[in-house]
Structure 1
Amino acid sequence: MKLPDTSNATVDMSLGIKDCEIKCRSNCSCTGYSSAEVNGSGCLAWFGDLVDMGENTDGGQDIFVRVDAIELEDSMKHSKGSFIKKKLVLILCVVIGGLCFCYFFKKAKGRGLLQRNRLRKQLFSPSLETNEETNANGYMSPEYAMDGLFSIKSDVFSFGVLLLKIISGKKNSGFYQEDPSMNLIKHAWELWRDGRVLELVDPTMGNSFPEQEVVRFIQVGVLCVQENAKDRPTMYNVIFMLGNETPIPSPKQPAFVLISNPNSAYASASPSITEMSITIVEGR
């Protein structure tokens, strides 16, 4: 601050700022005090009106003004009330902001859930029936289709079906005219079991693909659709197997693969007629 006019002030260079405060408080006529020097030494006390006081942008000195107790109390009440109002406004803004965030987050979450449900209906084509072949039409894992149990391994199963679908370029069911009960999972498993796994590849790709890499992808896909959820790899392991060349385990029998075969030797065997010779019949 720029100190007031010193025509009604006294100076005592032997006092420090603390002693200057005591001196001003002990005299009812004292209206303010300050250090006489910028370094804090000396005492400058005013007795009368403080005039020609202003703000000094270059630094200046601090001045301590003595005010009436009632005036100070009113000022503190006003300041305290203003602080409380600002605090209440701040709390109110935070509460309103939090409520708005919760509302829009819930709305966005609901909208996202609705979109995901629509997407699942389009991609997974789930059915509520319990028939294995009907459930195999989509991407549902057997534990979810049969018992309604869902886990992270259910997503692994869906990923495996999707991977086989991308490689073959075919849907999961309804494309084998010779055997209507055949589905993509069963077809991929039989080709893998018979060592003809490259026959699963989309014919439109021709021979322009790395065979070893495609075989590895198919093997990972069959691993993902194994019937027992505990046998399926985690998505972390799936990503690791797809991005590396380390040996991977052989898959077990996938889900939705019917063991019975109407074209098996037992089913196709026809009864034969056994010929017998007969001698002359004679009575006893």
Structure 2
Amino acid sequence: MQIENLTNEQQKEALINYSENIALEQYQAELVKLQQHIERYKLKLIIVFEGRDAAGKGSVIGSVSRYLNPKHYRIVALGRPSEEERTQWYFQRYVKHCPHGGEVVLFDRSWYNRAMVEPVFNFCSEEEHEIFMKHVVPFEESMVDHGTVLVKLYFSVKKEKQALRFEQRRTDPLRQWKLSEIDLQAQSMWEQFTTTKYNMLKQTNHEKAPWYVIRSSDKHKARLETMKLILSQIEYDGKSRAIDLTPDAKIVFTASQELKLMDIHKLNNIDKL
């Protein structure tokens, strides 16, 4: 449809979308260069995408991977463990999906299910959760020591925005498949998820694989800042010197910064992070 046939509001939205896509494409082009560098030098990159339901993880993953060579990257989104997997070492089902040399793996949720979703919904025992929290940092340190670059991203959405996105899923026939039984409970269990988020960031942030928190109520800014952050992790051949990788301080936070904000909010009886 020609833009002149659209209403003023539709034209405005179309122009905003066009502008946002242009802004993203320069970073997506750099991601292609980064992937080629990883393939050329047989590097290994894992990017972990965590966060509350409807935090926009899928949207960001789609933008990050849009122009990548599908032969050299994988998106891993595991379902519930099988009966056999329940008897295995917890990390085993994730290890088999880790990259070989020259590959990028994007985990749409990861082993951190045991730090967030499972304890909130009692899908694991307290002992299983404690064992995970004790061993996850050494597990990641070993992974990094053996040559894997590990980037951990937590997407933070406001409670009101999460509710709006759930409603959009409920009423949009193209999005209804995204709405699960767990999603329907997420709003009522907001405080529990806040507590587990705090504990996870505090206990599993470490020098070899720090957490980065990305405000994702604005999906475009979340996509943009995620790409910038990924591109800043590895020096790669052909990197454009004109590209700006400076993080937006209103969107990207270190774990330490987020924990301080959460402490302040707790003192003031505010729970929005």
| TM surpasses 0.5 | no
More strand as a share of residues:
2
TM-score by length of 1: 0.21
**Bigger RCO of structures 1 and 2 (CA < 8 A, at least 6 apart):** 2
Whichever of the two has the greater Rg, that structure is 1
TM-score by length of 2: 0.22
